[in-house]
Structure 1
Amino acid sequence: MPPLPDLSIVDAPLPYVPHLETRPLEQVDLVVIHCTELPDLAAAREYGERKLYPSGTGNSGHYYIDRDGSVRRYVPDDHIAHHVRGHNARAIGIELVNAGRYPHWLDSRRQAMDEAYPDVQIDALVALLHRLAAELPSLRHIAGHQDLDRGTVAASDDPSLQVRRKLDPGPRFPWPRVLAEVPLHRLTG
């Protein structure tokens, strides 16, 4: 096996990690790519710390990759994070800092996701995916959040219109590059 790319991961566990369910790592066969749809990493951390469920936990990915390529782990791999409906128990969630549709997530007139992903951020993602594939022998699949959550909701500007709940990582995410560089197969539903 070739050596793993250099990658520094800063552990920064969310306060509620002890309340998240654990799982055997053999159960993890999927990575889900998200974008934060928030202005910066600090806002994403603040959102991730919000307690939204009776268990005292909230919504968060496992890993966050900032625009400069720095990587933080908010949830250990053997814990189930809340990041994608119906797939959390089998998946690692990776959040890429990107504004997405911020702050008009559900406005039907503002569904474009125009921010590009910097090369250094994608380089860090590819390095992380290689590391996860080496450490998690069952890991075989990759998907975007929009591939797995196709639900719609009423638009915030016009409730008679429906918009997609999730569009991340969005049209600017370089799927061809990532898929060519990692040993994972894309799931689209």
Structure 2
Amino acid sequence: MPEPTIRDHFLPYVDRLPERPATAVDLVVIHCTELPDLATAREYGERIVHDSGTGNCGHYYIDRDGTTWRYVPGTRVAHHVRGFNPHSIGIELVNLGRYPHWWHADHQTMTEPYPAAQIEALRALLARLRGEFPHLRDIAGHEDLDLARLPASDDPGREVPRKLDPGPMFPWVQVLAGSGLNRLPARTAQG
């Protein structure tokens, strides 16, 4: 597999994120941005939402054409999945997901396929990360780890999943083939 080209474009607050050794990382979490494009995802990542002066973001972002950006070094803890940040790397794939009605009860179907170039870039990135992080063995989707539900935006009497990414269009079999990574099963309870 060819070595991926990764473009660094660190978030402004990257130096405020806690450092960790490469040996602390044992998990990759796959996300989709649930936004229309990379520029909008960058805007969301730059928003300060934590008292530490940091925001919610993944480490890597892969655009639909396979272009790969690193917003946070893997040796820093990014805020991308509740309860798993200290030992995981977050990879965000640009994809509409449920945008713009994330929590509307009747808008919970994700229909945008992941382009071949994006999936090949992801596979190349995973191979590279396996070399950089010696304990990296597991992979999960955001939806596997965050099972929280919340009131629907259009009907508070109904609940919808907080996270559904990367969703049903994500080609797990293709991504896992030859990756050397084990997919974690979905959690059965929040913790």
TM-score normalised by structure 1 residue count: 0.97
Mapped to 1, the partners of 2:166 and 2:65 lie a distance apart of 17
Whether contact under 8 Å (1:31, 1:92) holds in the other structure is: yes
| 1:166 partner letter | K
Mapped to 2, the partners of 1:21 and 1:160 lie a distance apart of 39
Whether contact under 8 Å (2:98, 2:109) holds in the other structure is: yes
SS for the counterpart of 2:15 is: helix
1:33-44 to 2 correspondences below 5 Å: 33-44=30-41
SS for the counterpart of 1:92 is: strand
Mapped to 2, the partners of 1:32 and 1:181 lie a distance apart of 17
Q: Does 1:102 align with 2:105?
A: no
Match of 1:161 among 155, 158, 162: 158
Unaligned runs of 5+ in 1: none
Aligned to 1:139: 136
Q: Does 1:181 align with 2:152?
A: no
Measure how far apart 1:46 and its partner are: 0.3
Mapped to 1, the partners of 2:34 and 2:178 lie a distance apart of 25
| 1:129 partner letter | L
Whether contact under 8 Å (2:22, 2:132) holds in the other structure is: no
| 1:162 partner letter | E
| 2:55 partner letter | G
SS for the counterpart of 2:177 is: helix
Unaligned runs of 5+ in 2: none
Listed one character per residue, the Cα deviations across residues 91-113 of structure 1 (whole Å, up to 9, x for unaligned) are: 00000000000000000000000
- Deviation >4 Å, runs of 4+: none
Whether contact under 8 Å (1:126, 1:181) holds in the other structure is: no
Q: CA RMSD in A?
A: 0.7
Mapped to 2, the partners of 1:179 and 1:17 lie a distance apart of 30
Listed one character per residue, the Cα deviations across residues 62-85 of structure 1 (whole Å, up to 9, x for unaligned) are: 000000000000000100000000
SS for the counterpart of 1:181 is: coil
1:78-89 to 2 correspondences below 5 Å: 78-89=75-86
| 1:20 partner letter | L
Q: Does 1:24 align with 2:24?
A: no
Measure how far apart 1:24 and its partner are: 1.2
Aligned to 2:111: 114
Measure how far apart 1:180 and its partner are: 1.1
| 2:108 partner letter | Q
Give the length in aligned residue pairs: 186
Moved more, 143-152 or 179-188: 179-188
Whether contact under 8 Å (2:65, 2:117) holds in the other structure is: yes
Measure how far apart 1:118 and its partner are: 0.2
